Structure 1
Amino acid sequence: MRYRGDIDGLRAVAVLPVVFFHADFGFFNGGYLGVDVFFVISGFLITKILISEFEKETFSIQSFYERRARRILPALFFVLAITTILSVVFMNPVQLKNYSQSLVSVLLFISNLFFYFEIDYFSSAAEEMPLLHTWSLAIEEQFYLIFPPLMFALFKFNRHTVLSLLLITALVSYAIMLALGEFYNQSSSFYWPVARAWELAAGAVCALLIGKIKPNKWCLNNVGFILLLISLIFWPKEIVHPNGLVMLPVLATCFIILFPNENTLSNKVLTNRILVSIGLISYSLYLWHQPIFAFFRMKTVGHPSHLIFTLAILLSFLCAYVSYKLVETPFRDRRRFSKETIFKFSLVGGVCFISAGLFGHFSEGLPERYHGYESYASDGPSYSPMRDSCHSSDNMYIKPSNSCTYPDGGNVSWAAFGDSHIVELSYAMSKILNEREQSISHHSYSGCPPALTYQASYRKRCNEWINSTLSYLEQNENIKNVLIGFRYSFYLYGEHMPDYPNVPVKINNFIADQSKISSEDALEVFWGDLETIIKRLIKSGKKVWLVYPIPELPMDISKGVHPFSIFNDETVLNLKVATTKSYFLKRHEYILKKLNAFEKQASLIPINVYEELCNQEGCPAIIDNEKLYFDYNHLSVSGAEFVLKEVF
């Protein structure tokens, strides 16, 4: 197949936005679309090679997989080896166990399914998983297993039949992607191969059409390039990926591939020596950037700065260059590594990494690596056992009338009402009530602000749930006390960690149509709804126990309670003063001012979490060897018990 420099340039255009997007640099809103571009390129190149071999009658399934092994496995094994060593040195036991599981999934080419069941790709926790990016490699490997023999069978028919079947496959897969995102869940449309097959099929269609149709006078090559750049740079942030609009960058990539023209501006840009050079190392760059970024995130208190990420990007390029020169290039040389050597290397390497992963899993992440590890609280689940079955979300909507009550057998005279910050407090309260032969009615909704009069962003049924729950509580005469609380400042100003040690000051878009009102008005809408909820509960005869803001940690507790590495003894986080008083007061300044201005009355009892847990310096992360949190902002059951025992 004739070499096309513009394809390597296109690889660079695909990988650079991915890298900058993962580094949280804001100039590529649609940076993650680079992976969609890679899928189209892969579909095109593989199909083009297969067609050439079919026509020459030189196709061999063994030779095909040998070429794939030469291309993919040496660099992958190199990255996995270094990443595994660093994981043993720097990860805590829970992280190492999770990493070990992901390592096995990578070698079995099912990491897309592993991460689908484990985590949301766009979540903060996902950013600290060194092998998260291998989900796309898994999709490609699954494609390689099925597509070549299928094409071999189909190619016995004419090209028109093959083209028709590929187009039908692409349309069906595209429809499945849309249906999964709309009616099932967004992660399935992201990770499942059936929802990504249309992008690979689009590339395959290009391989069948190229040379058969001629570019028109409008220079579709340029049109595709411009459309791709617009998608990568200006992609709307509020759009959940993937969705129907992803057709645009896919079509743009197809135009660039289908209509090569040396005289177009896009071709001149894509064949630029710098872009072509980056394209040549794009595979290694893609492999290296995520582990490097993940370790920087993992070991930074708060969020890595742009300077740290700039250094991480430079390190990624350096590692990619070394990997390309010393690993990728030599292994592609058949004179140095025969077919038999490649297959043996693949088998031995795969067995070694799978064995290492299984060992890390069954050893529970090798906790003995850390001296004094047992002196800290357990890393096991420290959240409420009721969280999985009683906590509402968009995917698991629980009507107020179907809410959990616990403990069993008690008089249901209490209710908990709020978002996820109320869950552990509700469970801790149930332990107190159990001694009084009383029970609590549990009402919580994940990521749901007190949205009484507005539709909350990213929570489809939050407004409905708030209103129905409030009405239910008002009408329930048996309930005399309501424990209410939310993660107030998160809704108002967003996550704190990306700005830490600074406090975020920009008003967050917590209202679905917030562009219609000013930021100041949005704050007042939030407070007005919360105030109305409280007043309505009091008016209905309830005593309201109002939970003040919960102090947030600058990093996850599971990381903070462990040393920086196995060569250190001091914990990453200052466990005695994990959050300073000045930071807490500045972070929650608006909501504290509003809460403190509430009229004092017998039916409204404030529960000031800071006063119950903290001192004049700040807030600890551990008390009496018990973790107060189970992540970085939610109290653990122990933390909730510490708060309530001082009140009750």
Structure 2
Amino acid sequence: MDYQRDIQQFFKSSTPHRLSYRPDIDGLRAVAVCLVVLFHAWPNWLRSGFIGVDVFFVISGFLITSIILDDLERGSFSIREFYVRRIRRIFPALITVVAATLLFGWYVLLHHEFAQLGKHITAAATFLSNLVLWNESGYFDNDHTTKPLLHLWSLGVEEQFYLVWPVMLALCYRRRGGILAFLAITLGASFLYGLYATYNAPAEAYYSPVTRFWELASGGMVAYLLSGREQPMPARALLSAGGILLLALGCVFINGQTAFPGAWALLPVAGTSALIMAGNEGWINRHLLGNPLMARIGLVSYPFYLWHWPLLSFGYIIEGEKPSAQAKAVLVLASFVLAVLTWRLIERPIQKSPKRVRAIKALVTAMICFGVAGALANSGLLRERIPGNGTDKYLRALNDLGFPQPAMKSLRYHGSLFHTLAGNGEGTTVLVGDSVMEQYAPLVAEGLRTSRFDRKSVIFATAGGCPPIRGAVRLPKIRFPTCTQTVIDAYDLAASPEVDTVVIAAAWYGYFTPYQDEVEMPVGDKLEQFPSKPAHEAAYASMLQAIRQLRQQGKRVYLVLQPPTGDKFDPRSMITGSRFDEMMPRTDMPPFLVSEFRQVNAEPIARLREIAHQTGAIVIDPVDYLCKDGTCPVVNTIGEPIYTDPVHMRPYFVRTVRYLDDALSSQVKPPSRQRQ
């Protein structure tokens, strides 16, 4: 059968209304799902890919509103029929993916991981994933890569939209101008609240349906404006070109540092709305979005979206770190193949089945069963395959990070995104650095909350992976495009009159190792790449100048050396075996020797101490506080790892360190040695 005729007939069979099939909208779906999948697989390469979800929201709002308005105009609108169509559309692929995730999770996950998966399966079955994830966000939350059903938060938002939207449209349809007023009020109120929440409650802004409804309502407004209207050809061309430009701008300018959704979400939302408004006759819509390849990808975009994240997440879980680029490529390809099979073997047969009542009952029953199974797994009544064997405490340590903290507020400074914590004392401390500085966030948050630190505010002017050295360029630039400017802004903020104390910390020994070649420094009229001696000398000179300037301005400056680091701290080095067989704790863990650590890093240690000596900065060496009798512990007194990886301390442990106390106090005194 001809492809276009085939999908036309399928569209008619699955959506019984008068709307004609638009391949360009399937093309938009393809754009959206590719953005999301590429972002999840390679977040440092496509930093804006999460806007694909916003594209999906607009498309959903447009299609659902179009269907409802069409049914209302024909006098055939039925709430029951609306939900029957939604169940036939959403449940088949979702049940398939949840079933596979539960089965594979039972086989490879440990107890605490399987219990959390059970909670997320119940949330998925009740379409509350976004609210559950919102509630989990914060200090005690584990890394997002260890949640195979994390991506279902967007499905939760859409389902909550479906609960409200048909009822409200049906009520407003009876009143003159009611539909337009409802759409305008919903769009405006949700957008304005989203602006507020983005800066004051970031987790709510991201997961709450209230802050996302305006995106779906934007699609609804397009459906209302297009109902019974045709756009003239010049307008179509303009809308089409403008829409693709806005989407492109969103891809270029939006990244993880962006306050999102907020006003920045206008780029993907307005761009998608304009492309839909342009209709299928615009050149971009017809030839780019509506070409058969894009439309085919769009047809399987829903199962592709459902499959890709569980596969990638299990890759992270099994590897204990991010999988290799080749492994992620295989996982993405596998998710696409599974999506095609799901669409052909499960979705299409169920949606085209003449036995609708029986199919609906079976789908609802299956979803209820999975909800119950999830609850049993979460309660521990349904147990995982792998016996504990004492490895839980090691694997639980992976991805256990504490930045950002729930109490943090976003701070925009010259375009850079920093984070601030408020206290009850006087004065402001600015913390400059990379993720090694960010690991201290749980310590600072608790210390300010309990008045252990008497600061009015503490600002984390940090960026992961960015050496706090003015002029340094972090490579590859496509992964770290904001590093250079962020560091400049951090030191500018530190020089502000209201700041009296500056603390600088980083993975110094990682940057100044002979094997580091991903940093460049300006030397004369060109950039020299690490580990060349001129590049290192330029970096040390830049640090000397920056700290000297801060000291001349009367700031207290603390230079924190790198804490003990290495593979011996990595929780993965403390276990043997495989998730596909059995896992056991290692019994031959070698000690971490201070002498070896300092010998390997002798040069940067000496140079940093010399910079502090010349400028009057106070040096803090965490090794002096964390280690004793020539060795450093890698686990606590009950055998739990104190690090989450070879470099970063876990939140529970970092809250116990004392070597930053004086830097976070208003009293001017040298740091005291922490007692063991």
TM-score bucket (shorter structure): 0.7 to 0.9
Whether 1:50 and 2:68 are equivalent positions in the alignment is yes
Given the alignment of the two structures, is residue 241 of structure 1 paired with residue 254 of structure 2, yes or no?
A: no
Q: CA deviation at 1:84?
A: 1.4
Q: Corresponding residue for 1:489?
A: 507
- Give the Cα separation in 1 of the matches to 2:66 and 2:407: 53
Whether 1:358 aligns to 2:375 is yes
How many aligned residue pairs are there? Answer: 588
Cα distance change, pair 58–322 in 1 and its aligned pair in 2 (3 A): same
**Given residue 505 of structure 1, which amino acid in structure 2 is its aligned partner?**
E
Does the CA contact (< 8 Å) of 2:30 and 2:297 recur in 1?
yes
For structure 1, the residue ranges without an aligned partner over 5 or more in a row are 404-417, 429-438, 472-483, 497-501, 509-517
List gaps (5 residues or longer) in structure 2.
1-18, 411-418, 429-436, 471-483, 522-534, 660-672
Change (3 A) 1:489 1:534: farther
> 69, 73, 83: which one pairs with 2:91?
73
Residue-by-residue CA offset, 1:562-614 (whole Å, 9 max, x unaligned): 85416222569996589999999989975674137654999977645299659
Deviation at 1:241, TM superposition (A): 1.8
Residues of 1 paired with 2:520 and 2:469: CA distance?
19
The match for 2:422 is 397
Report the counterpart of residue 271 of structure 2 in structure 1. Answer: 252
Cα distance in 1, alignment partners of residues 552 and 56 from structure 2: 55
Could you tell me whether the CA contact under 8 Å between 1:221 and 1:260 is conserved in 2?
Answer: no
Cα contact 1:221–1:261 (8 A) shared by 2 = no
Distance of 1:215 and 1:586 partners within structure 2: 71
Match of 2:519 among 502, 506, 522: 506
Q: Tell me the TM-score normalized by structure 1.
A: 0.74
- Kindly indicate whether the alpha-carbon contact (under 8 Å) linking 1:607 and 1:647 is maintained by their aligned counterparts in 2: no
Kept after mapping to 2: 8 A contact 1:558/1:631: no
Structure-2 change in CA distance of 1:532 and 1:268 (3 Å): closer
Contact 2:389 2:585 survives alignment (8 Å): no
Are positions 1:195 and 2:204 aligned together?
A: no
Q: Percent identity?
A: 25
1:206 to 210, 213, 222: 222
CA shift at 1:162, angstroms? 1.1
One-letter amino acid of the structure 1 residue matched with residue 219 of structure 2: G
Task: State the Cα RMSD in Å.
Answer: 5.3
Deviations 1:339-358, CA, capped at 9 Å, x for gaps: 24313431x22332222222
The whole-number CA distance in structure 2 between the counterparts of 1:564 and 1:339 is 45
Distance (whole Å) between structure 1 residues aligned to residue 104 and residue 586 of structure 2: 17
| Corresponding position of 2:81 | 63
1:137/1:605 Cα in 2 relative to 1: closer, same or farther (>3 Å)? closer
Scaled by the length of structure 2, the TM-score of the pair is: 0.71
Q: Which structure 2 residues correspond to residues 552-591 of structure 1 after superposition, within 5 A?
A: 557=571, 564-565=578-579, 567-570=581-584, 576=590, 590=604
C-alpha change, 1:174 and 1:626, in structure 2 (3 Å) is same
**Residue 526 of structure 1: CA displacement?**
5.3
Q: Which residue of 2 aligns with 1:269?
A: 288
Aligned in 2, Cα 1:186/1:235: closer, same or farther, shift over 3 Å?
same
Alpha-carbon distance change, 20 to 573 in structure 1, aligned in 2, over 3 angstroms: farther
- Residue 334 (structure 1) aligned to one of 349, 353, 366: 353
Partner of 1:551: 565
1:361 maps to amino acid: N
Q: Deviations over 1:498-557 (max 9, x none)?
A: xxxx8573379xxxxxxxxx99978756565667889999x99x9x99664342669974
- C-alpha offsets along residues 233-288 of structure 1, whole Å, 9 cap, x if unaligned? 42343423212132122222122212224361331111211111100100000001
Given residue 205 of structure 2, which amino acid in structure 1 is its aligned partner?
Answer: S
Give 2:288's aligned amino acid.
V
Mean alpha-carbon deviation: is it higher for 452-461 or for 142-151?
Answer: 452-461
1:84-483 correspondence to structure 2 within 5 Å: 84-119=102-137, 125-158=143-176, 160-182=177-199, 184-210=200-226, 211-217=228-234, 219-231=237-249, 233-237=251-255, 238-262=257-281, 264-335=283-354, 337-346=355-364, 348-363=365-380, 366=383, 369-373=386-390, 394=419, 396-401=421-426, 420-421=439-440, 441=453, 445=458, 447-448=460-461, 463=493, 470=500
Residues 1:33 and 2:51 aligned together = yes
Counterparts of 1:606-621 in structure 2, within 5 Å, are 607=621, 609=623, 621=634
> 1:634 corresponds to which residue?
649
Give the superposition deviation at 1:166: 0.7
For 1:112-139, what per-residue CA distance to the aligned partner results, in whole angstroms no more than 9, with x for missing partners? 1221222379x99213321111111001
Which moved further from structure 2: 219-228 or 80-89? Answer: 219-228
Which of 374-383 and 631-640 deviates more? 374-383
Q: Distance in 2 between matches of 1:153 and 1:69?
A: 23
- Listed one character per residue, the Cα deviations across residues 326-379 of structure 1 (whole Å, up to 9, x for unaligned) are 2211211232x4224313431x22332222222222229958832522795795
Distance 2:598 2:640 in 1: 19
Displacement of 1:161 in angstroms is 3.3
Secondary structure at the aligned position of 1:88 is classed as helix
Counterpart CA distance in 2 for 1:580 and 1:23 is 38
3-state SS of 2:161 partner:
helix
Q: 1:367 to 1:328 in 2, by over 3 A?
A: closer
Going from structure 1 to structure 2, the CA distance change for 1:535 and 1:549 (only over 3 Å counts) comes to farther
Cα gap change, 1:458/1:391 in structure 2, threshold over 3 Å: closer, same or farther? farther
Please tell me whether residue 18 in structure 1 is matched to residue 43 in structure 2: no
Structure 1 counterpart of 2:316, which letter? R
Task: Describe the shift of the 1:98–1:263 C-alpha distance in structure 2 as closer, same or farther (beyond 3 A).
Answer: closer
Q: 1:590 to 1:264 in 2, by over 3 A?
A: farther
State the AA in 2 paired with 1:35: V
Q: How far does the alpha carbon of each residue in 1:381-423 deviate from its partner, in whole angstroms, 9 at most, with x for none?
A: 99999x98999994641144599xxxxxxxxxxxxxx864386
